């Protein structure tokens, strides 16, 4: 890059960059939140517009591991391969280097064929990050762009992944690597280090490793190669415990029960169904009877044909047919609105066969009427077949809606443990309740039938509390920030319960006041879907501000500072300690410094409690 400046559409994001990266080197990128680290990788990928200067790349292929892992609903293996041909040796090396071998063994027989839900809902944040990194490593590229892949894992695993995947003794030791990270101690082994400040390169320096260190590189790598990963690839297996269920599919026609359910929808129910049938046959009978009357009228002698009586009767039948047709159309439209469907008329018996069989018994007028029907019946058959096929296709959606409608909403599930909902006091839960549990269990995100025992808050079983009440008294700062498409104010106060001054105070507490003051729309500035127009650190800080604004009695923090630098991390810890000093805080953390000041520390190993004690009695090293 030589004097390169970049922009996201109309917003400038990087200015006057001068950067030269040699092939086969490790380049570390550091900086505060919103400094432009991810934008730098996007610029190298060509995802943002080059405004000034120039950029030249002498690589044929680029592999990218995003800051927020992209996981799709499929097996772990397919998420890593991403359509590429299986190279068993490389695949095993990548699995081991990314520390996924232990996870696959814990998954049992299914191993890497375990089904992953959409966005990796059944995986931890660390597992998703390592799968995303494994996908990037499996691709044999010239340049690897790694956007903070170590943030979601604990320090020990992060050290192993860096040594085995990224560092000078790793699988990628001969490739060009650009690593963005807030864990700056890893950058001591980088060949070049970049410090970004306010979207500009503030510092850029190079370090050459000592010769004895490089000699140890080969030795350590060779020794690790001898440690074979005992893992056998499976061709097919079934994950019985997978949360991803196979969609129910049925061959053949749509079940008649679905049709009846749609045509008997409220408010008329079966009355509407029977009235539809009556109106349909009445209109058809009126139409056929008018044609039959015309046939009888034409069969009379010329003298009798001049009778006005026949004309009035035919006129009455025609008007009756028209009225019946209008009523039928309107009523059927109403039924279709109620049931979201379309009702098909069955074709009448083919009269041509009867006309041939009874050719000596049919007079000329009846024969003329029969021929008229024979001429139009071909088009009617074509229309009927086409419409029935379309209706059958559309009805599959109605069939799914009917199937999903039979599911019992989670808020109304019958609970065998508690038959009566508890009326909560206004100050529930009490300050410093001190109860510990898993995040999903507290929010009742798992099926209550799969839980043994009870989860109590202030001696109240949460199974006896409605979901609305339970979740309204809890706050969570998730590891993956959740933002909505809307204004900044809507994202921190979605129910408009607080004033603008309170919202600004919460944003100021997490040092985001400049984000508001520097924008002409202030709190009304738009946030794109999933916060794509904000940095990962800013998204996380907005979630912290949302929790500060709500100030629930129980706050759950799920690795909330993984995507921010250490200065911002310390600031967030101080803000949480100040704003929630009289509240109960449950922190899920990989960084031990974030839980060192906790009253109690709970350590889990393979789903079991290893210990639960005060920090002074636990060795945190």
Beta pairing, strands 460-461 & 474-477: unpaired
DSSP line for 252-279: SSPPHHHHHHHHT-TTTTHHHHHHHHHH
User: Is the Cβ–Cβ distance between 564 and 33 less than 8 Å?
Assistant: yes
Q: Provide the 3-class DSSP secondary structure of residue 135.
A: helix
Beta-bridge partners for 200: 197
| Cα–Cα dist 436/308, whole Å | 93
Question: What is the SS3 assignment for 161-177?
Answer: HHHHHHCCCCCCCCCEE
pLDDT at 179: 92
pLDDT at 228: 46
Greatest Cα-to-Cα distance within the chain, rounded to the nearest angstrom: 125
Stretch (H or E) spanning 93: helix 88-97
User: Is the Cβ–Cβ distance between 617 and 611 less than 8 Å?
Assistant: no
Backbone φ, ψ for residue 537 (5° rounding): -65, -40
pTM of the shown model = 0.61
User: Is the Cβ–Cβ distance between 444 and 464 less than 8 Å?
Assistant: no
pLDDT at 237: 55
Residue ranges in the chain whose pLDDT is less than 50: 209-228, 341-355, 414, 428-437, 621
Domains delineated in the chain: 2-226 (3.40.50.300), 256-405 (no CATH), 439-617 (3.40.50.300)
pLDDT digits (tens, 9 = 90+) for 82-134: 989 999 999 999 999 999 888 888 887 778 888 887 778 778 888 888 999 99
pLDDT at 219: 33
Give the residue among 409, 450, 76 at the shortest CA–CA distance from 244: 76
Give the residue among 168, 155, 243 at the shortest CA–CA distance from 211: 168
pLDDT at 27: 92
| Cα–Cα dist 348/25, whole Å | 80
Q: Structure tokens of 607? A: 């789903």
User: Is the Cβ–Cβ distance between 429 and 554 less than 8 Å?
Assistant: yes
Q: Structure tokens of 100? A: 């996924």
Residue 308, Cβ density class (10 Å: 0-12 exposed, 13-18 middle, ≥19 buried): exposed
pLDDT at 313: 81
Distance of CA 544 to the CA centre of its chain: 22
pLDDT at 250: 53
Give the residue among 146, 138, 188 at the shortest CA–CA distance from 166: 146
pLDDT at 338: 66
Q: Cβ atoms within 10 A of the Cβ of 227, count?
A: 8
């Amino acid at each position: 890059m030589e004097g390169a400046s970049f922009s996201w559409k109309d917003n400038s994001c990087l200015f006057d960059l001068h950067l030269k990266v040699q092939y086969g080197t490790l380049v570390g990128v550091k900086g505060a939140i919103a400094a432009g680290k991810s934008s730098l990788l996007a610029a190298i990928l060509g995802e943002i517009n080059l405004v000034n200067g120039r950029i030249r790349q002498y690589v044929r292929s680029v592999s990218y591991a995003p800051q927020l892992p992209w996981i799709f609903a499929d097996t772990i293996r397919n998420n890593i391969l991403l359509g590429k041909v299986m190279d068993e040796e490389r695949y095993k090396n990548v699995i081991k280097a990314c520390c996924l071998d232990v996870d696959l063994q814990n998954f049992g027989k299914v191993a890497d064929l375990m089904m992953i839900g959409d966005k990796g809902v059944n995986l931890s944040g660390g597992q998703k990050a390592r799968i995303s990194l494994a996908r990037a490593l499996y691709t044999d590229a010239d340049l690897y762009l790694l956007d903070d892949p170590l943030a979601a894992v604990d320090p020990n695993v992060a050290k192993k992944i860096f040594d085995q995947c990224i560092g000078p003794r790793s699988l990628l030791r001969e490739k060009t690597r650009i690593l963005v990270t807030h864990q700056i101690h890893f950058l001591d082994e980088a060949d070049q280090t970049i410090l970004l400040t306010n979207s500009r390169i503030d510092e850029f320096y190079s370090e050459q490793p000592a010769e004895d260190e490089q000699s140890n590189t080969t030795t350590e790598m060779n020794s690790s190669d001898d440690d074979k990963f005992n893992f056998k690839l499976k061709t097919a297996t079934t994950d019985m415990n997978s949360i991803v269920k196979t969609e129910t599919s049925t061959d053949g026609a749509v079940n008649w029960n679905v049709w009846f359910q749609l045509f008997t929808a409220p408010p008329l129910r079966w009355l509407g169904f029977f009235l539809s049938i009556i109106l349909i046959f009445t209109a058809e009978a009126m139409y056929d009877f008018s044609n039959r009357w015309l046939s009888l009228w034409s069969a009379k002698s010329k003298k009798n044909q001049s009778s006005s009586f026949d004309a009035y009767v035919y006129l009455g039948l025609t008007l009756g047919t028209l009225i019946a047709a209008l009523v039928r159309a309107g009523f059927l439209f109403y039924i279709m609105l109620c049931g979201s469907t379309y009702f098909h008329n069955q074709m009448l018996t083919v009269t041509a066969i009867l006309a041939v069989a009874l050719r000596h018994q049919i007079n000329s007028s009846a024969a003329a009427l029969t021929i008229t029907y024979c001429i139009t019946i071909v088009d009617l058959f074509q229309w009927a077949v086409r419409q029935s096929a379309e209706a059958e296709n559309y009805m599959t959606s109605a069939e799914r809606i009917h199937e999903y409608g039979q599911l019992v909403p989670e808020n109304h599930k019958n609970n065998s443990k508690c038959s009566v909902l508890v009326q909560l006091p206004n100050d529930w839960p009490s300050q410093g309740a001190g109860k510990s549990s898993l995040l999903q269990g507290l929010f009742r995100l798992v099926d209550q039938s799969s839980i043994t025992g009870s989860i109590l808050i202030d001696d109240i079983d949460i199974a006896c509390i409605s979901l609305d009440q339970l979740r309204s008294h809890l706050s969570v700062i998730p590891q993956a920030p959740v933002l909505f498409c809307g204004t900044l104010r809507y994202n921190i106060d979605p129910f408009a319960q607080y004033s603008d001054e309170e919202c600004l105070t919460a944003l100021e507490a997490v040092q985001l006041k400049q984000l508001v003051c520097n924008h002409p729309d202030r709190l009304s500035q738009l946030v794109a879907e999933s916060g794509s127009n904000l940095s990962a650190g800013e998204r996380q800080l907005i979630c912290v501000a949302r929790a500060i604004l709500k100030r629930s009695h129980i706050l759950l923090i799920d690795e909330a500072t993984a995507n921010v630098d250490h200065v911002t991390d310390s600031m967030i810890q101080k803000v949480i300690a100040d704003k929630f000093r009289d509240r109960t805080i449950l922190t899920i953390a990989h960084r031990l410094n974030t839980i060192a000041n906790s009253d109690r520390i709970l350590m889990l190993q393979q789903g079991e409690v290893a210990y639960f004690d005060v920090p002074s009695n636990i060795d945190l090293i």
